[in-house]
Chains A and B, each alone.
Chain A
């Protein structure tokens, strides 16, 4: 809106100019009465109703023409036609037409004799005695500027037109049609898409207002009549453009292709706005950045809107001057659908059971994103695996037209890309895509990724983001914990262990990085050795005969240990296991990496009737049975629940067990002095082919290694016991080891 002062200034300036003109005219020859001129301008980016129509001015009337204001976009050019008997090409009694264009921003500028900084007239041509044309170019004038073009003849000022420089406004309806040019209009985009195997068809419902999608061929339909009847040289569509208004260059041209006259009433074309990439955008792409969600364009987030507007124009140019021109335009909102990952599944990860007390084996969800706040999923792969995944993305704004062959990329640090392509029907609010990694996990190497991050990108054009980063938009990020095993897991030794427990995975891989079978084994064994006081995957302690836990209350295999039940399936108060449970747990951890092992049973010689007492015990003297040497010491076992004989009676018998006094000695896992130290059997693990770590016998209960039976006796055995004939089973005769290596080690499975 012009201020009143400017109106006043304009009036003064106009008056001044007219006065000067009058002075010139007084001295000029009188022109013929038929000096009537018609000017049609501008023809570019200016609807006909807004000053673009042909305006006739009859000099004889002496009246001022109406101020048919127009609009021109910055950095555009227009061809202006002057029709009538007046333009005679510099002869015929009427002097040449003078044209003057200046920026009407104030009186002072009218006195500016230098080149106008924004506007120029050029290429004035006298096409015929009744037709002249010139080119009007508008530079990068600031929006809101005014221009005035005036036309003079020797007879005086005959015409002027007032322009406002402004980006193209929302086009209005086409102006009065030329009799020989079809009236045209652009129909709304019809984004229908056919059904696919996974998506239903989307009906072809026109979207109003028009919405075009960045990066995708968007159909436009031009409605009119009589297209096919146009003679060659008559009104044909000669100018179809779409532009992105604004920007440093004033506009960015968008290609329109496949312009076709379909029938008498329809012309079709395809417009393809550029794909809008990820922030940060280069300086020249600020508007593009604004077109995508604020979240990914932080530099522009303050005023970001989710879309921008494009206008396509089509002009039918008739053969000048008879047919004139008709034009139409369609404005469409350009949307750049943004994908945002909502769910990610690693579909080819191993079935892993997140062992918890009281829970039966059940495969952990392979959905790693979004992470469960209470129990995030963990994935286990085998070395040389390539990740296969299924990802689901939200789409916003929804695509107005189908996107075929869109590419989804997940960039995994150090592991290449997860790649998938997908057809996205129009109108979809979410899409699921299958992806496959292009890079395998390293061969024969254990890995642990505490947070394997994936940065997701969406390429509407289907091109790799590396080839054309600006065509890709960010689609969120995910992360999850991932383990990679050394080799394919072996079957577990326990029939009850139907699935890989996460605790075994943790024990198998630790922090990863092992590249040989020896390193793999050592990584696992170091989590037992010492004892290391083994923890479950969640940090819970796993015990070896915890205090007060007797044979009936200690688990027998690793499965029972991890779910905290005893051999009868009764729920226990603590995860405490017998040696068999620990041997199985070590074997299970080794099986995760495919390392073979054997279950070894240790029994006292002469076999199954004997007892052995694990360090440390103090032998109280004098012995009770000096006459039955060497079995001279008495050992009294207690009666435990389940009918077992042991040490963890309720109430505990204290340190005295006949002639033997219980002493701290070999610690068990998470238990300095295990509650049971007298056994008929002890179960350990044998692993062959692992040099330099000890063994080949590995005792996970105590975190100890043995070279054989004598080594076991030396390190672990305080005494051997035999039953006393005629006495209840809990009465034993005991002797100290005498260096006879009085145990046997047998591989039992």
Chain B
């Protein structure tokens, strides 16, 4: 009896101490937790257009098969119905509006040919999301985004790496652009302060602001054409 109990305890201990098993297979489990709505803007060939912003906290199956908090950030342009979204694990301590504020502060979007293209800068890299989603309303856009995210969550917990981004390395930009010489860290992070599409030249003109302002010219495939220091 004693021996049997000891063996059972040992086996349970092994189970408890072992790393949790990773979940496998697609998971459609999505539970809405909270929703934050806001408005923003995007550039277009006719000037600035109004966008609707949503930051939605949901519960989805995490990498170990358990429900985990995720956050979906959605940009919706009502006139064209174009929308763009990202989803990622939410840190428990993170502000519910962290991504909304980040978008308004550091990022920029351009409505081109009914597609919303978002531009984000990190150090000397441009992260570009060119998304072809369309919906008749922001609610429908949210549903479509969550469905797509659920489909991407295969295996669960791998959505960040599964989302398509164009990463453009700005080799011609020195680290001094956002790194104060002598500082052990870089910062503040560069902001995308303007994006324009040159229809004649078929070029993107992205303006970044860090320690100085740099204008980046990209071709339609997001290859760097030129860079110049503006001020």
> B-contacting residues of A (Cβ < 8 Å)?
551, 556-557, 567, 578-581, 608-609, 621-622, 624-628, 634, 636, 642-646, 653, 658, 676, 678-683, 723-729, 731
Q: Which residues of A contact B64 (CB under 8 A)?
A: 622, 626
A386 to B121, CA, bound (A): 61
Q: Which residues of B contact A579 (CB under 8 A)?
A: 184
Question: Is B25 part of the binding interface, using a Cβ–Cβ cutoff of 8 Å?
Answer: no
Contact A556 B185 (CB under 8 A): no
Where chain B touches its partner, the secondary structure class is loop
Q: Output the nearest chain A residue to B22 by Cβ-Cβ distance.
A: A626
Q: Which residues of A contact B179 (CB under 8 A)?
A: 608, 680-681
Q: Distance (Å) between the CB of B59 and the closest chain A CB?
A: 16
Question: Is B2 part of the binding interface, using a Cβ–Cβ cutoff of 8 Å?
Answer: no
Contact A725 B183 (CB under 8 A): no
A723 to B29, CA, bound (A): 28
Contact A643 B187 (CB under 8 A): yes
Question: Is B88 part of the binding interface, using a Cβ–Cβ cutoff of 8 Å?
Answer: yes
Q: Which residues of A contact B91 (CB under 8 A)?
A: 634, 636, 658, 731
Q: Which residues of B contact A723 (CB under 8 A)?
A: 122-123
Question: Is B38 part of the binding interface, using a Cβ–Cβ cutoff of 8 Å?
Answer: no
Cβ contact of B185, chosen from A551, A557, A634, cutoff 8 A: A551
A678 to B161, CA, bound (A): 24
A557 to B63, CA, bound (A): 45
Q: Which residues of A contact B57 (CB under 8 A)?
A: none
Cβ contact of B184, chosen from A628, A680, A726, A727, cutoff 8 A: A680
Q: Chain A interface: which of B4-12, B108-116, B152-160, B200-208?
A: B152-160
Query: What is the size category of the interface that chain B forms with chain A?
Result: 35 or more
Contact B183 A567 (CB under 8 A): yes
Q: Which residues of B contact A643 (CB under 8 A)?
A: 187-189
Contact A557 B182 (CB under 8 A): yes
Given contacts A608-B175, A627-B161, A636-B91, 13 further A-B contacts (CB under 8 A): A551-B183, A551-B185, A557-B182, A581-B182, A609-B124, A634-B89, A642-B187, A642-B188, A680-B184, A723-B123, A725-B122, A728-B102, A729-B189
A578 to B157, CA, bound (A): 37
Cβ contact of A645, chosen from B124, B165, B185, cutoff 8 A: B185
Q: Which residues of A contact B120 (CB under 8 A)?
A: 726
Contact B157 A608 (CB under 8 A): no
Contact B185 A626 (CB under 8 A): no
Contact B160 A608 (CB under 8 A): no
Q: Output the nearest chain B residue to A654 by Cβ-Cβ distance.
A: B93
Question: Is B20 part of the binding interface, using a Cβ–Cβ cutoff of 8 Å?
Answer: yes
Contact A622 B89 (CB under 8 A): no
Question: Given A628-B158, A728-B99, A729-B189, does the pair A679, B88 have CB atoms closer than 8 Å?
Answer: no
Q: Which residues of A contact B182 (CB under 8 A)?
A: 556-557, 567, 578, 580-581, 683
24 residue pairs A–B, Cβ–Cβ below 8 Å: A578-B182, A580-B184, A608-B123, A608-B179, A622-B20, A622-B64, A626-B22, A626-B63, A626-B64, A627-B22, A627-B161, A628-B161, A634-B89, A634-B91, A643-B188, A680-B179, A682-B184, A724-B160, A725-B160, A725-B167, A726-B120, A726-B163, A728-B102, A728-B106
A378 to B231, CA, bound (A): 47
Question: Is B223 part of the binding interface, using a Cβ–Cβ cutoff of 8 Å?
Answer: no
Q: Which residues of B contact A728 (CB under 8 A)?
A: 98-99, 102, 106
Question: Given A726-B86, A726-B88, does the pair A551, B187 have CB atoms closer than 8 Å?
Answer: yes
Contact B88 A627 (CB under 8 A): no
Contact A556 B180 (CB under 8 A): yes
A658 to B88, CA, bound (A): 14
> When each residue 78-104 of chain B gets 1 if its CB lies under 8 Å from chain A and 0 otherwise, what string results?
000000001011010100001100100
Question: Is B129 part of the binding interface, using a Cβ–Cβ cutoff of 8 Å?
Answer: yes
Q: Which residues of A contact B172 (CB under 8 A)?
A: none
Question: Is B127 part of the binding interface, using a Cβ–Cβ cutoff of 8 Å?
Answer: yes
Q: Which residues of B contact A729 (CB under 8 A)?
A: 122, 187, 189
Contact A621 B19 (CB under 8 A): yes
Cβ contact of A627, chosen from B86, B106, B129, B155, cutoff 8 A: B155
Cβ contact of B63, chosen from A625, A680, A683, A724, cutoff 8 A: A625
Contact B183 A726 (CB under 8 A): no
Contact B125 A609 (CB under 8 A): yes
Contact B185 A646 (CB under 8 A): yes
A742 to B116, CA, bound (A): 38
Contact B188 A644 (CB under 8 A): yes
A117 to B189, CA, bound (A): 112
